[in-house]
Amino acid sequence: MAKILAFSGSGRKGSYNHSIVKCAAEGAIAQGAEVTVIDMSEFDMPIFNEDLEASEGMPEKAQAFKDLLMAHDGFLIASPEYNSGYSALLKNAIDWASRMQEGEKPLQAFKNKAAVIMAASPGGLGGIRGLVPLRMLLGNISMIVLPNQLAVSGVSKLVNDEGDVTDEKTVKGLHGLGKALADFLK
Ligand SMILES: Cc1cc2nc3c(=O)[nH]c(=O)nc-3n(C[C@H](O)[C@H](O)[C@H](O)COP(=O)(O)O)c2cc1C
């Protein structure tokens, strides 16, 4: 059974990107995949710095995040758009996880694995501009990024207080993303 890790590039309480990636995960589960949804607020890690890495090694939360990546075949990733790019939190977590440790092959957490990317924003473009560089980054670390993607605009009107996506059309689109990744991994 395909194992998928679902996470967002936001550690904000009530993150819309966490909401949409959770919804996409439901689509993958319905398609028979085993999905782990994580909340990035539980993986607080320092900004990557080679001096810090040399003196203290991989921080505990960065190691825990990397271990999860290593244990899964594909990723559902939702990133906020900050000033037209993906979030620094996401880049930082990927930078830590990209570091090769003893007994590993280069980029082992990512290489030849598949990803589906998405974004959500209260604004009108839904964060689509951040998905362009995110797709490039993931491709450059040897991931297969599926063509399916979704940028959910006006997201604050589409999610309830519990953080569930309530808009039927959006739910359908997000479930479709999860399904696409699960089908690809099969
Ligand atoms: C520094 C900063 C820059 C932002 N830049 C953009 C942007 O370029 N495009 C956009 O659609 N929203 C932008 N936003 C709004 C975010 O999309 C919004 O805060 C969103 O809710 C963050 O994602 P989250 O809910 O998953 O935490 C920006 C927000 C911040 C704090």
SS (H, E, C) 106-157: CCCCCCCCEEEEEEECCCCCCCHHHHHHHHHHHHHCCCEEEEEEEEECCHHH
Q: Mention every residue, 6+ apart, whose C-beta is less than 8 A from residue 68.
A: 5, 36, 38
Neighbours of 78 (CB within 10 A): 34
State the pLDDT at residue 1: 87
The dihedral built from the CA positions of residue 36, 41, 47 and 52, taken in this order, carries a sign that is: negative
Decide: 121 in ligand 1 pocket, CB within 6 A. Answer: yes
Instruction: Say which residue the tokens 């959500």 belong to.
Output: 120
Decide: 123 in ligand 1 pocket, CB within 6 A. Answer: yes
90 C-alpha to ligand 1 centroid (Å): 13
**Residue 120 backbone phi and psi in degrees, to 5:** -140, 140
Residue spans of the chain under pLDDT 70? none
State the pLDDT at residue 111: 98
Closest Cα to atom 16, ligand 1: which residue?
A: 121
State the pLDDT at residue 173: 98
Decide: 83 in ligand 1 pocket, CB within 6 A. Answer: yes
101 C-alpha to ligand 1 centroid (Å): 34
pTM for the structure as a whole:
0.98
Decide: 80 in ligand 1 pocket, CB within 6 A. Answer: yes
Closest Cα to atom 30, ligand 1: which residue?
A: 82
| CA atoms in the 13 A half-sphere facing the CB of 107 | 12
